Amino acid sequence: MPTVTFSSPKMRRDLTVYAPAGDRKSILGVAREHGVAIDCECQKGECGSCTVEVIHIGNKPPMAVHLTEKEKLTLLTSGKLARQEFEELELLDLAPRYRLACQYLLLDEDIVVKF
């Protein structure tokens, strides 16, 4: 079962939770379900307030590598993702380091979410 570990200076300690694959929940949804307070304003992928760093752990290749158009635009305009970096990642089918917690739908993979 995939796990999500939330890590932040705002928390007393890291929290690891199970996130069943197929639930189609966002990082933000799982965080809220477990009382983890990730900043969020719009929940539509437009404001960038929920930007988190996602680190893939385990030995499976990252799965949730594709960004929605809103997520791409917001990360590019906020400066969390440079256009050249984005184009290289897309070409190699790799995941960017920063993602929007409200847009990233969890798949069958173990991740650490830093915020």
The residues of the shown chain that bind ligand FES, judged by CB under 6 A, are 40-43, 45-50, 74, 100, 102
Query: What's the min distance (Å) between Cβ of 61 and ligand FES?
Result: 25
Helices H / strands E in the chain, number of each:
3, 5
Are 51 and 114 a contacting pair, CB within 8 Å? no
Q: How far apart, in whole angstroms, are the C-alpha atoms of residue 113 and residue 92? A: 22
Query: What's the min distance (Å) between Cβ of 4 and ligand FES?
Result: 16
Q: How far apart, in whole angstroms, are the C-alpha atoms of residue 81 and residue 86? A: 6
Of 1 and 36, which has the nearer Cβ to ligand FES?
A: 36
Query: What's the min distance (Å) between Cβ of 42 and ligand FES?
Result: 4
Of 2 and 72, which has the nearer Cβ to ligand FES?
A: 72
